[in-house]
Structure 1
Amino acid sequence: MSVELSVHGLTKVHPGQKSSALTSLNLTVRPGSCTVILGPSGSGKSTALRLIAGLDKPSAGTVCIDGVDITEIPAEERGVGMVFQRPMLFPHMSVVDNIGFAYRAAGQTRRHARERARRYLDLVHLGDIGDRSVSDISGGQAQRVALARSLAGSPRVLLLDEPFSALDPLLRTEMHDLVREIRTELDQTLVLVTHDQQEAAALADSVAVLIDGELQHHSDVASAYTRPSTLAVNRLMGGINEIDGHLESGVHYSAIGDFEVDVAFGDGRAVLLLRHEMIRVVDTSEVHGVVSALRPIGFRSIADVTISGVTVKVELPAGATTRVGEEISLEIPPEARAVVFR
């Protein structure tokens, strides 16, 4: 049965440092769900994982599993598994013996450990290479072995610290598919750290965004894209439209027009955020502009549309015939709009 992971006021100040690497993190991961901790380098992501795993001691705060405080429990007794960016396999052992290491450490015979390990070999689709040396397998296979080795320990919570960042795009996609498959098989509670918003979108039930050691946003994936809490969160989630203006009674006023927005806070200077993927080019609309630049992104392209001196970026579909200098009309649906105060 999967478990709930929660941290309360989790803080880490490294010796000799004035500022915190992590500041008062409060976060709950529901049983059987995957929370992705997203943030740029140096934001405190890996620090949070190491504190949860028990590899570092927090300066303040607690780590709980199903409401039980495990902050003072040694790492090896927490029931928390961790997969690192590098596989860190034992070079003198075969693939199957790497996976069965936890069973051998618990006193089981080599034969029994290997028998139990082969279930996890099959789970990561490596059942035919169990007897190979780890020096004879590819990087993608090595990361699968590392994942299987962590799972073989039957962790209550599995932590993944950017384990796919060194893989090429195709292998990363395959690993994402594998993680989803494992979740359905094992009903695992997962926390994944990444700096890649596309990876977060591929795997997360919820996204927790860390900036400079502080939690700035926590929500489902869709809300992280369309209702970010801050400009920094918007940029990390790939947002590229930020229109200065002011908010009054639920309407944002700027040079590009007046737009109703769904907000639950007061008036004042505010930035209108527009998701470029959700803006549509239409035959007629109250929003008109001139295409001032085009930038290809694979089969699609990003158009810079100048409206009253302000540039709005729009993602055009594959095959679009829009040209620089052309006047076009835009539809900006309510779900594409959000605001944050400057």
Structure 2
Amino acid sequence: MSVELSVHRLTKVHSGQTSSALTSLNLTVRPGSCTVILGPSGSGKSTVLRLIAGLDAPTTGTICIDGVDVTEIPAEERGVGMVFQRPMLFPHMSVVDNIGFAYRAAGHKRSHAREQAHRYLELVHLGDIGDRSVSDISGGQAQRVALARSLAGSPRVLLLDEPFSALDPLLRTEMHDLVRELRTELDQTLVLVTHDQQEAAALADSVAVLIDGELQHHSDVASAYTRPSTLAVNRLMGGLNEIEGHLAGGVHRSAIGDFEVDVASGDGSAVLLLRHEMIRVVDTSEVRGVVAALRPTGFRSIADVRIGGGSVKVELPAGARTRVGEEISLEIPPQARAVVFR
């Protein structure tokens, strides 16, 4: 049975510091779900995990697991597992004994510990390397072993602190596939920390964005892209278009023209956000502009399109024959538009 994890007004001021590393964080992770905490370096992401795990104590605030306040409970009694950026395996132990360490520490015989460890080795698709020294395995294998070791402790909550950031893109993709597979096999609540919005999109049920120790956004993945709460969140989610203007009566007016936006209420100075991936080049449209520049991004490219007195960045599909200086028509669907008030 998976459990709910929640933190309430969680704050951390490190010794000798005057500013908070984390400020009054309120966050709930639903049972069996994966919440990704996304933010730039130094935003307080890892601090959150260390507080949940019990490796550090909060200055103020509470941590609850399955409705029970565990803030004062020792780390080893919380039922929380953690995987770090570095595997941190025991160099003097074999792969299987690294994974079976939790059982040995609990007083089980080596034979039982190894039997259980082999089960988790199979889960991470490394069943044939149990007898190897950890010095003889690859970086990707070592991270799988570290994941299996954490899972062997049967944690109710599993914390992942940028565990895939040191891996090459192919291995990262394989680890993402593994995490999704494990989620179908095991019933655990996950919290993953990353600075990579693409990793967040690949694994998250919900995204919590931390900026300078403060929670600026929490939603499902799609809303984090298309309805960011702040400009900082928009930039972290890869947004490229921020157009200054004025909002009145649900219409944003700026140098590129007037655009209706879905906003609950409010008028005033506002920045129009347009998701570049959702804008399409069409045969005819009221929105027309001239391609001022093209920037390749692999198979696709980003076009800088001058519209009126402003510009909009548009992601072009693979094989597009658009040229600099060409006049094109754009379709900017309502779901690609959002506003952030100044």
- Structure 2 counterpart of 1:135: 135
Q: Which digits, 9 at most, give the CA deviation of each residue in 1:85-139, with x for residues without a partner? A: 0000000000000000000001111011000111100000000000000000000
Equivalent pair of 2:292/2:304 in contact (CA under 8 Å): yes
Take 1:210 and 1:99, find their aligned partners in 2: how far apart are those partners? 32
Q: Which digits, 9 at most, give the CA deviation of each residue in 1:212-238, with x for residues without a partner? A: 000000000000000000000000000
The structure 1 segments of at least 4 consecutive aligned residues displaced by more than 6 Å after TM superposition are: none
Shift of 1:187: 1.6
Shift of 1:32: 0.3
Fraction of identical pairs, as percent: 91
Take 1:86 and 1:66, find their aligned partners in 2: how far apart are those partners? 29
Shift of 1:257: 1.2
**Local SS of the residue matching 1:20:** coil
Take 2:321 and 2:20, find their aligned partners in 1: how far apart are those partners? 51
**Local SS of the residue matching 1:224:** helix
**Local SS of the residue matching 2:291:** strand
Equivalent pair of 2:51/2:57 in contact (CA under 8 Å): yes
**Local SS of the residue matching 2:6:** strand
Take 1:166 and 1:130, find their aligned partners in 2: how far apart are those partners? 23
- Structure 2 residues not aligned, in runs of 5+: none
Shift of 1:255: 1.2
Q: Which digits, 9 at most, give the CA deviation of each residue in 1:139-186, with x for residues without a partner? A: 000000000000000000000000000000000000000000000000
Take 2:188 and 2:241, find their aligned partners in 1: how far apart are those partners? 37
Take 1:288 and 1:85, find their aligned partners in 2: how far apart are those partners? 47
Shift of 1:15: 1.1
Equivalent pair of 2:257/2:308 in contact (CA under 8 Å): no
Take 1:300 and 1:80, find their aligned partners in 2: how far apart are those partners? 42
Take 2:146 and 2:266, find their aligned partners in 1: how far apart are those partners? 50
* Structure 1 pair 16–265 and aligned structure 2 pair: CA distance change class (3 A): farther
Q: Which digits, 9 at most, give the CA deviation of each residue in 1:265-309, with x for residues without a partner? A: 310000000000000001111111000000001111000000113
- Structure 2 counterpart of 1:293: 293
Take 1:262 and 1:275, find their aligned partners in 2: how far apart are those partners? 14
Please show how residues 39-78 of structure 1 align to structure 2 within 5 Å: 39-78=39-78
Take 1:240 and 1:137, find their aligned partners in 2: how far apart are those partners? 41
Shift of 1:55: 0.2
- Structure 2 counterpart of 1:224: 224
**Local SS of the residue matching 2:243:** strand
Equivalent pair of 2:49/2:159 in contact (CA under 8 Å): yes
Name the TM-score, length of structure 1 as normaliser.
1.00
Take 2:327 and 2:112, find their aligned partners in 1: how far apart are those partners? 72
Aligned length in residues = 342
- Structure 1 residues not aligned, in runs of 5+: none
Whether 1:315 aligns to 2:309 is no
Take 2:265 and 2:146, find their aligned partners in 1: how far apart are those partners? 47
- Structure 2 counterpart of 1:210: 210
Q: In angstroms, what is the RMSD of aligned CA positions?
A: 0.5
Take 2:187 and 2:239, find their aligned partners in 1: how far apart are those partners? 33
- Structure 1 counterpart of 2:173: 173
**Local SS of the residue matching 1:87:** coil
Name the TM-score, length of structure 2 as normaliser.
1.00
Take 1:311 and 1:187, find their aligned partners in 2: how far apart are those partners? 48
